[in-house]
Chains A and B, each alone.
Chain A
Amino acid sequence: DIQVTQSPASLSASVGDRVTITCRASQSISRYLSWYQHKPGRAPKVLIYATSTLQDGVPSRFGGSRSGTEYNFTITNLQPEDFATYYCQQSYSSPLTFGGGTKVEIK
């Protein structure tokens, strides 16, 4: 089964900052990596799919990229509503797997 390792587990940042989260897959998963935002008590929300494609309605300050089996998720100009936990997920093959999550907190 494919494992996905996400880092860091948490980070503190200020409004206006740029933050980057990384996921590394245990084998090639091509473009099949998605990023989700999750706030307490709410349904998770997909932000990016297929490595770098923004879901409809997602602001352009969110972005994704890939280098080999390493995938990066970036938020530029961090906004107050962006403080949440973010997860990556590989969907190359089931069983699907999530990264462990990154909690983005206010500095």
Chain B
Amino acid sequence: QVLLVESGGGVVQPGRSLRLSCAASGFVFSSYAMHWVRQAPGKGLEWLAVISPDGNNKDYADSVKGRFTISRDNSKSTLDLQMDSLRADDTAVYFCARGDIGGYCTNGRCYGVWVDNWGQGTLVTVSS
């Protein structure tokens, strides 16, 4: 079955960096777009970023554009999120998620890649 396992969360000071990883198994990783989504304490789900199956197309929410970078290694079936210049309002549970295989990505955008599977999440706390 599809398994997505996030790692790398923890406590980090404001202004510092943190890198999250997601290990995927149970499906052909290189065939799917992948997402990062987060949920801050007491808040709703917030979509953050998507990357195309080949890694050539990426798109971001305005709230993290320029600070966060999504990447993938199809040879290892891993998805990463590099988070720089972290702020207190980045405190959240971060979820790795798979996009539907029926979508597509082109010219820096992705279309129809609704989320069909989620990881359990990893907690990031930004605090001094």
Contacts and interface: CB of A to CB of B under 8 A. Distances in A.
Interface residues of A, number: 27
B59 A43 contact: no
Contact of B50 (A38, A94, A101): A94
Contact of B119 (A32, A43, A98): A43
Q: Is the interface of A mostly helix, strand, loop or mixed?
A: loop
Most chain B C-beta atoms within 10 Å of own C-beta, residue among A1, A85, A92, A95? A95
B60 interface: yes
A95 B47 CA distance: 8
A52 interface: no
Interface in B92-118: 95, 99-100, 103, 105, 109-118
Contacts, number: 79
A101 B44 contact: yes
A87 interface: yes
Nearest to B97: A44
Contacts of B50: 94-96
B72 interface: no
Interface of B: 35, 37, 44-47, 50, 59-62, 95, 99-100, 103, 105, 109-121
A14 interface: no
Contacts of B118: 43-45
B47 A96 contact: yes
Contacts of A65: none
Q: Is the interface of B mostly helix, strand, loop or mixed?
A: strand
B77 to A, nearest CB: 18
A98 B112 contact: no
Interface of A: 1, 32, 34, 36, 38, 42-46, 49-50, 55, 85, 87, 89, 91-101
Contacts of A101: 44-45
A94 B114 contact: no
Contacts of B95: 43-44
Nearest to A30: B112
Contacts of A93: 109-111
Given A99-B44, A100-B44, 12 more contacts: A1-B62, A38-B45, A44-B115, A50-B114, A92-B111, A94-B109, A96-B35, A96-B50, A96-B113, A96-B115, A98-B47, A101-B45
